[in-house]
Amino acid sequence: MPHTAIALLELGALFFGLGVLGRMASRIGISPVPLYLLGGLAFGTGGLVPLAGIESFTELASEVGVVLLLLLLGLEYSATDLVTGLRQSWLAGVLDMVLNAAPGAIAALLLGWGPLGALAMAGVTWVSSSGIIAKVLGDLGRLGNRETPAVLSVLVMEDLAMALYLPITTAALAGVSFLNGLRSVGVALALLAVVMVVALRYGRFVSLIVDSPSSEVFLLRLLGVALLVAGLASQLQVSAAVGAFLLGIAISGETAENATRVLTPLRDLFAAMFFVVFGFNTHPGEIPPVLPVAIALAAVTTVTKLATGWFAARRVASGTGRVRAGAALVARGEFSIVIAGLAVASGALNDGLAPLATTYVLLMAILGPVLARVLDPIARRLVTWHRARRAAAP
């Protein structure tokens, strides 16, 4: 059978299978991310039916998926939102980093992966999944809750921190010199500052560059600019994903709303490929040895995220709202996989990092939405019980 025919058959089967998995996730009320990862495990190296004819397409599609994920995340925020979030939630952001990066770093050191492994695993356990959290908040009707702005502020802090963390990690994994590492960080800082200034003062001009009354022209312009910015950022040793995120921040108003509308289907398609490709590159047989470590990390970092949300929402929400804020932050996803992918691609770390990160994200991507649903009624019952006891006390 010709190679093109084989590739088309495999690609069609993959897309249809992802559709089935997405439908299953919707029916049982969880994010599709863990099922996409499981799909990648099933059809990748060592899986049930390895797909060998579409590697080049899936690798490029996964890179586009990362760009679109971060671009649409940036479109959700304005530069004003970011500045306000920094002012109001910087302390919660610092606490978030300390509490949630430490378990991953400590685990890597205990496993003998050294400082580079600690740096990578710190990012894996630190950053919550903005995509999963946004979907869960929308599905549960909590976007208007009093604690939700505190949750979003923590996510903004994490996204901004990634603009520095990713180039630092990329430079460290690549083994570049200290001066080159400083240059990467300097470029990231300069790029962030330029985009913030452009977004605050000249965002309307960025919007005009991509805007068009024709949806076809608008899509082509927007996607073209996003890939150009991502490629330029990558060339400057800044993450392509961060470049896309900053571009999303610079686009505002009605243009941002239209961009979200036209790009959402593309994001869903290519983001699914990103998660699948990460699963492709992980041998299922490598997961059982790291499962105890993944479970231990999941338990510890669930508690630390709950503490982060509790602290972040302390000024705006009651005890129940603070529990909801913590539960909303539990899920890990896109950034954790991006960071682990960078580490694995560098070839500088132990091969166990990929299966550990995959297993950990699987657990947290399932646990996060479940906790967001079940902890709210539990917290309400506890608050009611506590108030009843106080009222009954002499």
pLDDT at site 178: 60
> pTM score, two decimals?
0.75
Q: Give the separation between CA 335 and CA 333, rounded to whole angstroms.
A: 6
If you ran DSSP here, which 8-state letter would residue 285 be given? G
* Number of domain units in the chain: 1
Tally of helices (H runs) and strands (E runs) in the chain: 15, 0
Res 284 pLDDT > 80: no
pLDDT digits (tens, 9 = 90+) for 79-105: 676 667 667 778 888 999 999 999 999
Paired tokens of 159:
């996204």
Q: At what angle do helices 215-235 and 253-280 cross, to 10 degrees?
A: 60
Nearest residue to 77 (alpha-carbon basis) of 149, 127, 14: 149
Residue 152, burial from CB neighbour count under 10 angstroms (0-12, 13-18, 19+): buried
Which segments within the chain are labelled E, that is strand? none
pLDDT at site 125: 94
Q: How confident is the model at residue 305 (pLDDT cuts 50, 70, 90)?
A: very high
User: What residues make up the domain containing 298?
Assistant: 3-382
Q: How confident is the model at residue 164 (pLDDT cuts 50, 70, 90)?
A: confident
389 domain residue, yes or no: no
Q: How confident is the model at residue 391 (pLDDT cuts 50, 70, 90)?
A: low
Q: What is the CATH number of the domain that holds 148?
A: 1.20.1530.20
131 domain residue, yes or no: yes
Res 349 pLDDT > 70: no
394 domain residue, yes or no: no
72 domain residue, yes or no: yes
Query: How many Cβ atoms are within 10 Å of 225's Cβ, its own excluded?
Result: 18
pLDDT at site 196: 67
130 domain residue, yes or no: yes
Range name among 119-128, 252-261, 375-384 with the lowest pLDDT average = 375-384
209 domain residue, yes or no: yes
Nearest residue to 329 (alpha-carbon basis) of 107, 68, 142: 142
182 domain residue, yes or no: yes
pLDDT digits (tens, 9 = 90+) for 325-343: 899 999 887 778 778 777 7
391 domain residue, yes or no: no
- At 234, the amino acid letter reads S
Q: Give the separation between CA 336 and CA 121, rounded to whole angstroms.
A: 9
What mean pLDDT is reported for the chain? 80
